[in-house]
Amino acid sequence: MKNWAGNLNYSSADVLRPESVAELAQVVARSSRVKALGSRHSFNRIGDTDGVHVLLDALPQQIELDAERQSVRVSGGVSYGALCRTLQQAGLAIHNLASLPHISVAGAVQTGTHGSGVNNPSLAGAVEAIDLVRPSGEQVSLSRADGEEFLGSVVGLGTLGIVTGLRLAVRPSFSMRQRVLENLPWDRALADFTQLVSSAYSVSLFTDYVGDSISQVWLKALDSEPPLGELFGATAATGPRHPLPGMSAENCTVQMDEPGPWLDRLPHFRHEFTPSNGEELQSEFILPLEQAPAAIQAVRSLADKLSPLLFVSEIRTGAADEFWLSPFYRQRSVALHFTWKPLQPQVEAVLPQLEDLLRPFGARPHWGKLFTPGGHDWESLYPRLEDFRSLASAHDPDGKFRNGLLDSILGVPAVSSR
């Protein structure tokens, strides 16, 4: 069994599809090592195990609206695409989406996945409660009222239990417009970067770091925000665009300032479009927003090595949050995302150089993407890491939910099932 990108074979000895949470709890209780898989959209081994893999797609896929609480309770295996269609039918929305709506809610939240917008928290920011199956098979629910343990569990990397459900905050549905601008000069972009990325509800920059300009700027604006015809010297695209130059935009969400519902504008790609597998790799590094100009200039100095390996790089932003292992923990951030060609040996060879360049800026790797585990001072990057280690040791002392990658981060040896 492979991940979505096809760049790794999972190591599990068995794969099970429990049909109820009770059955899942039994599987967890009797297994010496177990991990859950959702959409398998991680590019590294964070979701791997040498024990039992449980797939959540056979569990009841529940989406239950709670008008009184202004929230929705959703099963962990549900995709954002399915969730969003149900919310829209009820006149509701969530605050933001990742570029692909096909990913599972639980997996996205546990790894700190995000969209863009200086005032928009990551997808975990919507979580009001989380349901987990502990190593013993015990089913627990944590909410914001549980304080520290809740804040340590929402972005939990799958180490504190298998997520079977979440309660997410919702808001009234809203309409948006999307437009693409082209050829934004780097010098003007970096001169007032914060103003640039604050110019719409969600802003994404697409580049390969070569040359004097940024290829594309995607502006996702609320209907109440005035349309921008010009931005720091960039000009409006004359038709719909794909993030990759020369690619057809037919699978991209609607552009050209045409109003539409939030779920059809916040992602870059349409839900009815099925992404192809095995055609890309991904890395991403999240760092304080104020460090963005200097960090981007550092990356540009490596453009001759990066560009031949890149399909494209996307620059996004996100609001601060309080989740202990969130890459956005207590910092408004910029995220430098790299969509690589499927050349893993070459990518892994250049990653240490890229990480060395970004280390002085406090760059935190995205948990579900390619990075060098030994190339980061996790304690300095995550002030609550020791508290998280204690939480993981208390709830899973035998390492049932851990693996080699997680051990290298947590520094806690897990007992092998073999």
Report the amino acid identity of residue 234.
A
Structure tokens at 179: 């437009």
3-class secondary structure per residue, the chain: CECCCCCCECCCCEEECCCCHHHHHHHHHHCCCEEEECCCCCCCHHHCCCCEEEECCCCCCCEEEECCCCEEEEECCCEHHHHHHHHHHCCEECCCCCCCCCCEHHHHHHCCCCCCCCCCCCHHHHEEEEEEECCCCCEEEEEHHHCHHHHHHCCCCCCCCEEEEEEEECEECCEEEEEEEEEEEHHHHHHCHHHHHCCCCEEEEEECCCCCEEEEEEEEEECCCCCCCEECCEEECCCCCCCCCCCCCCCECCCCCCCEEHHHCCCCECCCCCCCCCCCEEEEEEEEHHHHHHHHHHHHCCHHHHHHHEEEEEEEEECCECCCCCCCECCCEEEEEEEECCCHHHHHHHHHHHHHHHHHHCCEECCCCCCCHHHCCHHHHCCCHHHHHHHHHHHCCCCCCCCHHHHHHHCCCCCCCC
- Predicted local distance difference test score (pLDDT) of residue 412: 60
Least confident of 64-78, 148-162, 186-200: 64-78
Structure tokens at 69: 């609480």
pLDDT band at 225 (very low <50, low <70, confident <90, very high): confident
**pLDDT at 276 > cutoff 90:** no
Please give the Cα distance from 287 to 318 (Å, whole number).
Answer: 10
C-alpha 106: how far from chain center: 11
**pLDDT at 275 > cutoff 90:** no
Q: Which residues, listed in sequence order, are joined to residue 310 by a DSSP beta bridge?
A: 340
**pLDDT at 259 > cutoff 70:** yes
* Sequence-distant (≥ 6) Cβ neighbours of residue 160 within 8 angstroms: 132, 134, 152, 153, 391, 392, 395, 396, 401
* Sequence-distant (≥ 6) Cβ neighbours of residue 233 within 8 angstroms: 183, 184, 185, 188
pLDDT band at 246 (very low <50, low <70, confident <90, very high): confident
pLDDT band at 226 (very low <50, low <70, confident <90, very high): confident
pTM as predicted: 0.95
Sign of CA dihedral 273, 178, 207, 115: negative
What pLDDT, in 10s, does the model give residues 23-50? 999 999 999 999 999 899 999 999 999 9
- Predicted local distance difference test score (pLDDT) of residue 76: 87
**pLDDT at 304 > cutoff 80:** yes
Mean pLDDT of 387-414: 89
**pLDDT at 413 > cutoff 70:** no
- Going from the C-alpha of 363 to that of each of 326, 329, 376, 377, 409, the distances in angstroms are 12, 12, 9, 10, 15
Mean pLDDT of 232-253: 92
Please give the Cα distance from 330 to 43 (Å, whole number).
Answer: 26
What pLDDT, in 10s, does the model give residues 328-351? 999 999 999 999 999 999 999 999
What pLDDT, in 10s, does the model give residues 81-127? 999 999 999 999 999 999 888 899 999 999 999 999 999 999 999 99
Mean pLDDT of 402-413: 86
Rounded to 5 degrees, what angle do the CA atoms 120, 122, 126 make? 85
Report the amino acid identity of residue 273.
F
**pLDDT at 418 > cutoff 70:** no
What pLDDT, in 10s, does the model give residues 170-201? 999 999 999 999 999 999 999 999 999 999 99
Mean pLDDT of 395-401: 95
What pLDDT, in 10s, does the model give residues 315-333? 999 999 999 999 999 999 9
* Sequence-distant (≥ 6) Cβ neighbours of residue 135 within 8 angstroms: 28, 29, 161, 395, 396, 398, 400, 401
- Predicted local distance difference test score (pLDDT) of residue 272: 83
Which residue carries 């040498």 as its tokens? Answer: 50
Please give the Cα distance from 122 to 132 (Å, whole number).
Answer: 20
Structure tokens at 2: 């492979």
What pLDDT, in 10s, does the model give residues 132-146? 999 999 999 999 999
- Are 70 and 87 within 8 A, CB to CB? no
Mean residue pLDDT of the chain comes to: 94
- Predicted local distance difference test score (pLDDT) of residue 31: 97
